[in-house]
Amino acid sequence: MALPLVIGLQPDSPAALAGVALGDVLVSINGERPRDVIRYQLLVDEAELELQIDRGGFDRTIQISKSEGAALGIEVQSSLFDQVRTCDNHCSFCFIYQLPPGMRKSLSLKDDDFRLSFLYGNFTTLTRFTEADLERVICEGLSPLYVSIHTTDPELRSDMLRNRRGATSLRWLRALLDHEVEVHGQFVVCPGVNGGEELEKSLAGVLDQYPELASVAVVPLGVSDHSHEPDMRPHTQSEAREVVDTVEEWQAIYLRHLGRRLVFAADEYYLLANRDFPEPEVYEGFPMHEDGIGMARTFEAEFLGQTATATGKRAGFFSWVDGAPAEGYRAPRTAPVNSSGLLNIRPRATAPVGILTGQYGARILRPLVASLDRSDVRIIEVPNRYFGGNIAVTGLMVSQDLGEILDHEPAGHRYLLPDVCLTSGLFLDGGRPEDLPRPVEIVPTDGIALRQALTPSTSISPIRQEVIA
pLDDT tens-digit map of 138-184: 999 999 999 999 999 999 999 999 999 999 999 999 999 999 999 99
Do residues 14 and 72 both lie within one domain?
yes
- Among 73-82, 248-257, 341-350, the minimum mean pLDDT is found in 341-350
CA distance linking residue 184 with residue 215, whole number of Å: 5
Average pLDDT over residues 333-360: 64
Kindly state whether residue 82 falls inside one of the protein's structural domains. Answer: no
Residues 359-387 pLDDT 10s: 999 999 999 999 999 999 999 999 999 99
Do residues 11 and 124 both lie within one domain?
no
- Among 25-34, 83-92, 99-108, 116-125, the minimum mean pLDDT is found in 99-108
Do residues 39 and 121 both lie within one domain?
no
CA distance linking residue 375 with residue 388, whole number of Å: 31
CA distance linking residue 124 with residue 363, whole number of Å: 31
* Closest C-alpha to 107, from 313, 314, 291, 317: 317
Do residues 154 and 283 both lie within one domain?
yes
Kindly state whether residue 240 falls inside one of the protein's structural domains. Answer: yes
Last residue of a domain, one of 57, 76, 95: 76
* Closest C-alpha to 466, from 364, 316, 346: 346
Residues of the domain holding 39 = 6-76
pLDDT-above-70 percentage for the chain: 89
pLDDT recorded at residue 316:
38
Do residues 140 and 261 both lie within one domain?
yes
pLDDT bin (cut points 50, 70, 90) of residue 456 is: low
Last residue of a domain, one of 237, 259, 293: 293
Do residues 173 and 228 both lie within one domain?
yes
Residues 302-313 pLDDT 10s: 999 999 888 865
What are the backbone dihedrals phi and psi of residue 319, each rounded to the nearest 5 degrees, phi first? -70, -25
pLDDT recorded at residue 323:
32
- Cα angle: 237, vertex 239, 245; to 5 degrees: 105
Last residue of a domain, one of 76, 97, 124: 76
pLDDT bin (cut points 50, 70, 90) of residue 297 is: very high
Kindly state whether residue 426 falls inside one of the protein's structural domains. Answer: yes
Amino acid at 250: W
Amino acid at 99: L
What are the backbone dihedrals phi and psi of residue 32, each rounded to the nearest 5 degrees, phi first? -110, 140
What are the backbone dihedrals phi and psi of residue 429, each rounded to the nearest 5 degrees, phi first? -85, 5
Kindly state whether residue 317 falls inside one of the protein's structural domains. Answer: no
Kindly state whether residue 130 falls inside one of the protein's structural domains. Answer: yes
Average pLDDT over residues 292-296: 94
Please state whether the peptide bond connecting residue 144 to the residue before it is cis, i.e. omega within 30 degrees of 0. yes
Kindly state whether residue 245 falls inside one of the protein's structural domains. Answer: yes
Average pLDDT over residues 386-399: 95
Is 80 exceeded by the pLDDT of residue 329?
Answer: no
Amino acid at 53: I
Q: What is the enclosing helix (H) or strand (E) of 450?
A: helix 447-453
pLDDT recorded at residue 429:
93
Q: Is the Cβ–Cβ distance between 194 and 159 less than 8 Å?
A: no
Between residues 264 and 79, which one has the greater pLDDT?
A: 264
Label residue 285 left, alpha or beta by phi (over 0 means left) and psi (-120 to 50 means alpha).
left
Average pLDDT over residues 25-49: 93
Is 80 exceeded by the pLDDT of residue 106?
Answer: no
Residues 184-231 pLDDT 10s: 999 999 999 999 999 999 999 999 999 999 999 999 999 999 999 999
* Closest C-alpha to 190, from 232, 230, 247: 232
- Helix pair 131-140, 170-178: axis angle to 10 deg: 30
Average pLDDT over residues 83-109: 88
pLDDT recorded at residue 315:
43
User: 284: domain CATH number?
Assistant: 3.80.30.10
Over the chain, what is the mean pLDDT?
88
For residue 238, what are the contacts with CB-CB under 8 A and spacing of at least 6?
A: none
DSSP H stretches of helix in 309-423 = 359-370, 399-406
- Among 34-43, 168-177, 388-397, 410-419, the minimum mean pLDDT is found in 34-43
Kindly state whether residue 328 falls inside one of the protein's structural domains. Answer: no
pLDDT bin (cut points 50, 70, 90) of residue 321 is: very low
Laid out side by side, the sheet with 48-55 consists of: 25-29, 48-55, 58-65
Report the number of distinct structural domains present in the chain. Answer: 3
Kindly state whether residue 313 falls inside one of the protein's structural domains. Answer: no
Do residues 32 and 155 both lie within one domain?
no
Strand 263-265 relative to strand 377-381, pairing: unpaired
Is 50 exceeded by the pLDDT of residue 339?
Answer: no
Average pLDDT over residues 385-392: 96
Do residues 38 and 185 both lie within one domain?
no
pLDDT bin (cut points 50, 70, 90) of residue 348 is: low
Do residues 152 and 270 both lie within one domain?
yes
User: 28: domain CATH number?
Assistant: 2.30.42.60
Q: Is the Cβ–Cβ distance between 34 and 81 less than 8 Å?
A: yes
Do residues 281 and 343 both lie within one domain?
no
Do residues 134 and 215 both lie within one domain?
yes
Q: Is the Cβ–Cβ distance between 437 and 354 less than 8 Å?
A: no
- Helix pair 295-303, 359-370: axis angle to 10 deg: 30
pLDDT recorded at residue 312:
63
Do residues 283 and 146 both lie within one domain?
yes
